Amino acid sequence: MLKSYILSIDQGTSGTKAVIFDEFGVVVIKTTEPLTSNYPTPSFVEQDPQEIYQSVIKAVKSCIRQFNEQFSSEENKIVSCGISNQRETFVLWDEKGIPLHNAVVWQCKRSTEVCGRLKENNLESTINASTGLTIDPYFSATKVTWFYENNEKIKHAIDTGNAFFGTVDTWILFKLTGGKSYKTDYTNASRTLFYNIYNLEWDESLLKVFKIENINLPEVTFSSDHFGDSTFEGIFNKPLPITGMIGDSQAAFFGEGCFTNGMAKATLGTGSSILYNSENISKEISNGMLTTIGWSIDGQVNYALEGVIVSCGSTLEWLKNQLGIFTSHDQIETMATSLNSNEGVYLIPSFSGMGAPYWQKDWKASIHGITFGTTKAHLVRAALESIAFQVKDVIQHIETKTKTPLKELKVNGGITENEFLMQFIANLLKTPISNMGITDVSAWGAALISGLGIGLWNSTVDFSKPRSEMIKTYFPNVSSTEEHESYAHWLELMENKKY
């Protein structure tokens, strides 16, 4: 096979990456453009839609310039583009393509009151039966309702059929194609709270519940499909096919190769998304888990269970930036391992409430067991252990629900560099965990999806295997009891926090 490259765009909350991979998963060129978030009130989180789009253009322009400098005659070997994106974040725009408001970020909590109202009207089970999700501001729908009720301009646009909804992937595609393509994929649609993931269609009854039945919605298709073509505002001499779009967490799920029963991935970043491949998925929500579309390729839709953890890396950032507990992340592991145990100190990181399996949006963070002997090291270790305990919460509940034991947990994200935490999780789960060694695994997942869409590969069995020297695996120490004793106390604290 002639050497081929794929351009992958990973549009995240804090910035946009443009990555060129070869067909073996090797990063050839990577560039990053930062992206700012705005906070009009403490619970509102927004981004400028034009800045999102321009961050894509700038990242791609820099990436292709560097590629051409190193491989002057090979631009024509870039065969396609794949896009992964921050999920749930959405844009509303008019028929001219002009945004009606800033993009509303997944972290935004402006619709808490709307969610409370829906729950009071006993709509939780109805919404879950269609979407697999729970009523929460995390998802897009209730925030669109908030705009309908609080923004006259948007209300008028929706009522008159002049409001177009799109998650970030759709907005980027719309802009890249000059408004010619208005599409999304199943994974992104499944995060809106008004898409029926079983019938694979927008749910008209839920659109009425959310008061937005007149809103324009994109065509939904497989993650690997022909979405459109773009020169990226003249960066390419001829239009490049865009043949893959997928939500970032699902992109990591796909990139990690979680194709079989009992495989799971955990992206450990600001928060965490744990996706679990199980054949035993029912429509009924149980134990705070979500049912979602894990990935989709031509003729096949794969479902997964998801546990969303709100605070992981953000807890460490709080210790660093707000309390000055440490100045560099390089210090964390040394501080944590300077102690033989947590010595009874626990941190419950519900800074923005707790996600799965608790889904308690009003909980506040708390520290337990501190004494005059408590040091900075205790707080760092408690923060790291809180990540492990939350991962265990999610995995244990999914295993219980599906009766599918975890075979292996594949991890990615910056926190996975912490070997103390990785070994702690392996011991706690009594299961191997592995890091495949590809830093930009969401971008790689989008590249794989795009490669399938363009025909570079025919199926998942054709994918190149990660090089063994890149994979780091942590095997559980089955004789270690400390992690399990600590987790038992964590569960007691969580039970007490409910009251």
Per-residue pLDDT tens for 354-397?
888 887 878 899 999 999 999 999 999 999 999 999 999 999 99
Q: Kindly state the percentage of the chain with pLDDT values over 90.
A: 71
Handedness of CA 22, 26, 32, 37 (dihedral sign): positive
pLDDT at 352: 82
pLDDT at 499: 60
pLDDT at 298: 80
Per-residue pLDDT tens for 28-56?
999 999 998 999 998 899 999 999 999 99
Cα 345 to chain centroid, rounded: 30
3-state secondary structure 40-75: CCCCCCEECHHHHHHHHHHHHHHHHHHHHHHCCCCH
Per-residue pLDDT tens for 215-274?
999 999 999 999 999 999 999 999 999 999 999 989 999 998 888 888 999 988 888 889
Question: CB neighbours of 20 closer than 8 A, spacing ≥ 6?
Answer: 5, 6, 7, 8, 27, 28, 29, 30, 63, 67, 78
Per-residue pLDDT tens for 135-166?
989 899 999 999 999 999 999 999 999 999 99
Name all domains of the chain by residue range, CATH numbers in brackets: 5-249 (3.30.420.40), 257-435+467-499 (3.30.420.40)
CA distance 221 to 200: 9
